[in-house]
Amino acid sequence: MSKHNAITSLPSSPTEDRHLRMIKYCVAMGVRMLCIVACFFVTGWWLLIPAIGAVVLPYFAMLIATTSVRSGFAVERPTAIQVYRPEPPR
């Protein structure tokens, strides 16, 4: 697959990026809620699994929410303007 400059190689819009990050965050917080509920029903050493999940998941959810979704293409920044000076004829 060749990389070329086209409008389709731009990253997603900020609104779409924010929406996707919010979905991922809500899913992670939903799993955290399941871990909290599971703490009431699980006994013994198995209680550590949902308890650790309930404590650690908010950290990872924030990491997911603060990192942008990239499509694999980077937008190139323009470089400094270079003046074209043709070679004098010989």
Give a yes or no: residue 81 inside a domain: no
Confidence band of 77 (pLDDT split at 50, 70, 90): low
Confidence band of 52 (pLDDT split at 50, 70, 90): very high
**What is the structure's pLDDT at 30?**
94
- What would the 3-class secondary structure string for 5-51 be? CCHHHCCCCHHHHHHHHHHHHHHHHHHHHHHHHHHHHCCHHHHHHHH
- Provide the domain count of the chain: 1
Give a yes or no: residue 75 inside a domain: no
CB neighbours of residue 60 within 10 Å: 14
Provide the domain limits for residue 48: 11-66
Give the tens place of pLDDT for each residue, 6-49: 555 666 778 888 888 889 889 999 999 999 999 999 999 999 99
Give a yes or no: residue 33 inside a domain: yes
